[in-house]
């Protein structure tokens, strides 16, 4: 009996998920535990493993189509096995490119008439798979001008790929002044593939639909820049003593508490203490009001293969450096395993993002709105620094603070950033 492949529930609040990518085609052999697809929701994207050995008999949900958790998105079984009483090769429903798998089930005709053999005037009535439609829109193709090779003339992903790889020649000049005027005032049709793909590109350009977590990130980052007045301040903190303290404590913490202390743990503690002293930075701009928080819910950005998430340490002001370290590592691991619920990704009052591991110095982090601030951490660099009259080798840490100028001005933001610097340069304050 065929085994159902279902859309998993990625968090308690998940209402819809989609297949970002099928790694297998219908008829391909699969092994239990093998990754067969990438599954994404608005918050998380993860791999989907095959629940059984066999072949992928049928793909019931194409790439990019949203369905509720628990929906059957495919079937795995033995070659020729029936799915729901129908042979796999003739089963109803769309394949990975959105066309009927067996070609025997025609698309439903529009209300009030039959399907015309000619392309309809409106794009929404054209028979085209969801993935093919998204690819055509991204490439600027007029789908009314595409020729479908799927059943009943349906436009498939392969048809769009062919159109992108073989753009039509540029249209001839208008035959009259009236036509030229119509063209110049925007009366012409949608841009063709020739205008969408830069001239000189003869090889096929991959088109990647923006779905799942990538789509959410794109929307949030754009909205953040559109809906706030962002300014970034930078400085360096001398963390020479902090690194020495971290090395001293690391072995003891590992042995007695099974916690590996990192510089990020100390930075988090310094930020929390500074936010308690400079509460205007621990705020949010919501509905023309500045909400100043007594608690600190600290967001820590975590980079994933498919994007970025910001799990939240609630009431971080109640934690010691050791406790913060445990929380940071636990949440980061859950994020990488796709185990975070939506509640763990909401409600932060301030965020830290660290690109030091990539050798980055200063950068401009984008606010995690409606928060008023986000701290970017760069890579520690060894530099010569004068201490009095002597030149010493010191470890300097780049810090980049982006803040919402609607909430506070440059001076109080600079005071907060200076407070973080002072705390890092007097590291024993962070453990007492």
Q: Could you give the domains of the chain?
A: 3-90 (2.40.50.100), 124-209 (4.10.320.10), 214-430 (3.30.559.10)
Q: How confident is the model at residue 379, as a pLDDT?
A: 97
Alpha carbon distance 87, 1 (integer Å) = 12
Catalytic residue among 204, 222, 257, 405: 405
Alpha carbon distance 180, 157 (integer Å) = 34
CA distances, 38 to each of 3, 59, 66, 244, 403 (Å): 19, 14, 13, 43, 35
- Residue 225 and residue 366 in contact, taking contact as beta carbons nearer than 8 Å: yes
Q: What is the dihedral of CA 48, 53, 57, 59, to 10 degrees?
A: 0
pLDDT digits (tens, 9 = 90+) for 137-154: 777 888 888 887 765 677
- Residue 185 and residue 179 in contact, taking contact as beta carbons nearer than 8 Å: no
Q: How confident is the model at residue 12, as a pLDDT?
A: 55
pLDDT band at 351 (very low <50, low <70, confident <90, very high): very high
Per mean pLDDT, which of 63-77, 163-177, 212-226, 228-242 is the most reliable?
228-242
Q: Which of 27-41, 283-297, 353-367 has the lowest average pLDDT?
A: 27-41
pLDDT digits (tens, 9 = 90+) for 240-254: 999 999 999 988 888
Over 50: is that where the pLDDT of 117 sits? no
Catalytic residue among 28, 223, 343, 409: 409
Q: How confident is the model at residue 209, as a pLDDT?
A: 75
Higher pLDDT, 15 or 367: 367
- Residue 378 and residue 355 in contact, taking contact as beta carbons nearer than 8 Å: yes
Query: Is 409 in the active site?
Result: yes
Crossing angle, helix 410-425 and helix 263-277, to 10 degrees? 130
- Look over the chain and give the mean of its residue pLDDT values, rounded to a whole number: 81
pLDDT band at 202 (very low <50, low <70, confident <90, very high): low
Residue 325: asked if its preceding bond is cis (omega within 30°), the reply is: no
The pair of structure tokens assigned to 118 is: 């000619």
Alpha carbon distance 429, 168 (integer Å) = 68
Q: How confident is the model at residue 93, as a pLDDT?
A: 42
Q: How confident is the model at residue 168, as a pLDDT?
A: 66
Alpha carbon distance 420, 21 (integer Å) = 43
Q: How confident is the model at residue 160, as a pLDDT?
A: 80
Query: Is 389 in the active site?
Result: no
Q: How confident is the model at residue 113, as a pLDDT?
A: 36
Give the long-range contacts of residues 21-29, CB within 8 A, separation 24 or more: 21/63, 22/59, 22/63, 22/96, 24/56, 25/56, 25/59, 25/96, 26/56, 26/57, 26/58, 26/59, 26/88, 26/95, 26/96, 26/101, 27/55, 27/56, 27/57, 27/79, 28/55, 28/56, 29/54, 29/55
The pair of structure tokens assigned to 413 is: 């933001």
Q: How confident is the model at residue 229, as a pLDDT?
A: 96
pLDDT band at 85 (very low <50, low <70, confident <90, very high): low
Over 90: is that where the pLDDT of 344 sits? no
- The reported pTM is 0.61
pLDDT band at 165 (very low <50, low <70, confident <90, very high): confident
pLDDT digits (tens, 9 = 90+) for 47-83: 889 999 999 999 999 987 888 888 999 999 998 887 7
pLDDT band at 119 (very low <50, low <70, confident <90, very high): very low
Place of tokens 């951490």: 377
Over 50: is that where the pLDDT of 96 sits? no
pLDDT band at 114 (very low <50, low <70, confident <90, very high): very low
Q: Which of 31-40, 159-168, 185-194, 262-271 has the lowest average pLDDT?
A: 185-194
Mean pLDDT of 401-429: 97
Mean pLDDT of 399-420: 97
Q: Which of 24-28, 142-146, 298-302, 332-336 has the lowest average pLDDT?
A: 142-146
pLDDT band at 109 (very low <50, low <70, confident <90, very high): very low
Hey, which residues does 45 pair with through a beta bridge?
Answer: 40
Q: In 3D, which of 80, 195, 209 has the Cα closest to residue 138?
A: 209
Q: How confident is the model at residue 201, as a pLDDT?
A: 54
Alpha carbon distance 395, 246 (integer Å) = 13
């Amino acid at each position: 009996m065929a085994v159902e492949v279902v859309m998993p529930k990625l968090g308690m609040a998940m209402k819809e998920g989609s297949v970002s990518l099928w790694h297998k085609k219908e008829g391909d052999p699969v092994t239990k535990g093998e990754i067969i697809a990438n599954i994404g929701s608005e918050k998380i994207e993860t791999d989907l493993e095959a629940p059984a050995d066999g072949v992928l008999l049928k793909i019931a949900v194409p790439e990019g189509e949203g369905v509720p958790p628990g929906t059957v998105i495919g079937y795995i079984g033995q070659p020729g096995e029936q799915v729901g009483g129908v042979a796999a090769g003739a089963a109803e429903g769309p394949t990975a490119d959105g066309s009927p798998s067996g070609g025997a089930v025609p698309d439903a005709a529009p209300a009030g008439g039959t399907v015309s053999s000619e392309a309809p005037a409106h794009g929404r009535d054209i028979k085209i798979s969801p993935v093919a439609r998204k690819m055509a829109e991204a490439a600027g193709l007029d789908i009314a001008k595409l020729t479908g090779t799927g059943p009943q003339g349906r436009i498939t992903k392969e048809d769009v790929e062919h159109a992108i790889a073989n753009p039509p020649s540029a249209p001839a000049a208008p035959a009259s002044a009236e036509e030229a005027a119509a063209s110049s005032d925007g009366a012409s049709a949608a841009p063709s593939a020739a205008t969408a793909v830069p001239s000189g590109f003869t090889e096929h350009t991959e088109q990647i639909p923006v779905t799942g977590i990538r789509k959410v990130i794109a929307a949030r980052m754009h909205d953040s820049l559109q809906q706030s007045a962002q300014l970034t301040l930078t400085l360096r903190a001398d963390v020479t003593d902090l690194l020495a303290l971290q090395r001293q404590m690391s072995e003891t913490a590992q042995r007695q508490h099974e916690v590996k202390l990192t510089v990020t743990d100390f930075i988090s503690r310094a930020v929390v203490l500074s936010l308690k002293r400079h509460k205007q930075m621990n705020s949010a701009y919501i509905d023309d009001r500045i909400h100043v928080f007594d608690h600190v819910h600290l967001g820590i950005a975590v980079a994933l293969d498919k994007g970025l998430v910001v799990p939240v340490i609630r009431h971080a002001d109640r934690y010691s450096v050791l406790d913060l370290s445990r929380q940071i590592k636990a949440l980061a691991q859950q994020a990488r395993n796709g185990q975070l619920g939506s509640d763990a990704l909401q409600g932060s009052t301030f965020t830290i993002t660290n690109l030091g591991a990539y050798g980055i110095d200063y950068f401009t982090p984008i606010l995690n709105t409606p928060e008023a601030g986000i701290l970017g951490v760069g890579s520690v660099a060894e530099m010569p620094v004068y201490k009095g009259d002597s030149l010493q080798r010191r470890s300097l840490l780049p810090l980049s603070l982006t803040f919402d100028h609607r909430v506070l001005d440059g001076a109080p933001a600079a005071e907060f950033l200076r407070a973080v610097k002072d705390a890092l340069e007097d590291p024993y304050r962070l453990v007492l």
